[in-house]
Amino acid sequence: MHGRAVQYVRRNSGISPYESAGPKDLFAIRDQARLLRPRFHTLIAHPGLQVRRATKEQLFLLVGAEKFVRDTSAGDFTVSCSR
């Protein structure tokens, strides 16, 4: 981990990959976090799946996955596949 941080500093003109803050800053972030709403975007890339050749079982599996993602995270669900 330290080696990656050193590489980052070299690539970015001496800018540290870490932020340093005091207790006041941490409490400010905590207070702001209560007002923010996280967004989740789920993307499934399935290049071996062809739209016209998808079986009912495959489609049911994808529908189940979509339902689970939407119910648990209230996020978007996208499947990318071959045409």
Q: In this predicted model, what pLDDT tens digit does every residue of 8-50 receive, in sequence order? A: 888 988 888 887 788 998 899 889 888 888 888 999 998 888 9
State yes or no: pLDDT of 2 exceeds 90.
no
Domain ranges of the chain: 1-36, 38-83
Bridge partners of 42, per DSSP, are 77
Residue 8's pLDDT is 87
Radius of gyration of the chain (CA): 21
Residue 69's pLDDT is 92
Confidence of residue 61 (pLDDT cuts 50, 70, 90): very high
CA dihedral for 54, 57, 60, 64, sign (positive or negative): negative
User: pTM surpassing 0.85?
Assistant: no
Residue 17's pLDDT is 82
Tokens of 20: 């340093």
